[in-house]
Structure 1
Amino acid sequence: MRVRIDNEILYIHAEDVPPYKKGGSVVRNNYFWALRSIAVRSVRDREWEYEMEVWYALNRMLLFFMESGYIGLRETQLEFEPDSDIPIELRSASTWQ
């Protein structure tokens, strides 16, 4: 998931936000609701926003779904711009594009 940080808010690119699919996979829909539950803002077709206070929880949640094997790495790993610093709270679930 492509991300950026601005003023201590993490933004997940709108096109990379996991979709909710009625009648879809239980794991995928749980992933959607888990990510949405800790977002400060999660508007359809817009970037989702995460305050710094939840970054540790976000990191743990991403690692959990990564390790489950049900959702691909591209959908669970945070991808920062090559020139960006990755905060320590998010490093184990992040990479550079």
Structure 2
Amino acid sequence: MKAFIENDILYIDKEDLPQYQKGKSIVRNNYFWALKSISDYTPMNGNWEFASEVWVALSRMLLFFTNSGYLGYRETMLEFSDDTLIPDVLRSISTKL
């Protein structure tokens, strides 16, 4: 998931967010609701925002879904640009583009 950080807010690109699909995969829908539940702001057609206070929870949640084997790395790893300094708390679930 493409991500960037501004003013201690992590943004996940709206194009890479999981989609809720009624009657579809339970794992993907649980992933959608789990992410949404710890996000600070989730506009319908915008990037989701995560304050630094929830980054530990976000890291643990992304690691859990990554290790479950039901979702691919591109769906559960944060992708940052090469010039981004990745905070320690997010390093285990992050990669560079």
What is the TM-score of this pair, normalised by structure 1?
Answer: 0.98
In structure 2, distance between residues paired with 1:96 and 1:41? 24
The match for 2:78 is 78
The match for 2:45 is 45
Q: How far is 1:90 from its partner?
A: 0.4
The match for 1:93 is 93
Unaligned runs of 5+ in 2: none
In structure 2, distance between residues paired with 1:68 and 1:29? 14
Aligned length in residues: 97
In structure 2, distance between residues paired with 1:24 and 1:48? 22
Three-state SS of the structure 1 residue aligned to 2:49 is: strand
Unaligned runs of 5+ in 1: none
* Structure 1 runs (4+) greater than 6 angstroms displaced: none
